[in-house]
Amino acid sequence: MNRFTQSGVLLSVFAAFLFLASRAGVEAKSANQHSANHDDAVAAAAFKELVSVLRNPRCMNCHSTGDYPRQGDDMHRHIMDVRRGPDGHGLNAVKCSTCHQDHNLPGIHMPPGAPDWGLPPPSTPMIWEGRSDHQLCELLKDPQQNGHRSITQIVEHMHTPLVLWAWHPGDGRKPVSGSETLFLSAVDRWAARGAACPSEK
């Protein structure tokens, strides 16, 4: 091997070393940043801010026990014997989309609507009636129960028109109290700080 070949090999080895060192530095910085953002107390407190919304009838009517949706602030069983069905969008001829469109219909007692209106499917029914705050949080985080969603995808779902409909439920319906903006801020903060859950009491 002549002098020029040796120099080329050494330069290649040195360049590879610099690349690996640089990459390791970037990964370490990313890990440190993640660690700095992670705060169980802040995340758990942020989740507690979400609970009043999640337990509101606007949400609970689709996340309560039973194989059917509910209606109204008293959460009575949906009329017309509406059922969850195999995909969460109704059974046989009684489909959610038969009455519910992708927007609210104007007028008192007219069907509400938002994109993808329906219940969660029976494989992951996402029922949180009767669960503690800790259990509800763990349910939302569990891919085996939440429709195989990551935390990021749960956050994305919370930002969808279907969820935000709760603040704009149409004529004659009581919207969720509190600020939509504050709700979304708490969702984002919960995820960004590590998605920790409130302690079980």
Phi, psi of 71 (to 5 degrees): -135, 155
Note the pTM of the prediction, 2 decimals: 0.79
1 belongs to a structural domain: yes
Judge whether residue 26 has pLDDT over 80. Answer: no
Q: What mean pLDDT, rounded, does the chain reach?
A: 87
54 and 31 within one domain: no
146 neighbors 175 (Cβ within 8 angstroms): no
Domain around 23:
1-37
199 belongs to a structural domain: no
197 neighbors 134 (Cβ within 8 angstroms): yes
C-alpha pair distances (Å), 199 with each of 47, 48, 136, 174, 184: 11, 10, 11, 31, 22
pLDDT digits (tens, 9 = 90+) for 82-130: 999 999 999 888 899 999 999 999 999 899 999 999 999 999 999 999 9
160 and 121 within one domain: yes
162 and 73 within one domain: yes
Q: How many domains does the chain have?
A: 2
51 and 4 within one domain: no
198 belongs to a structural domain: no
Judge whether residue 56 has pLDDT over 60. Answer: yes
Nearest-angstrom CA–CA distance, 76 and 74: 6
197 belongs to a structural domain: no
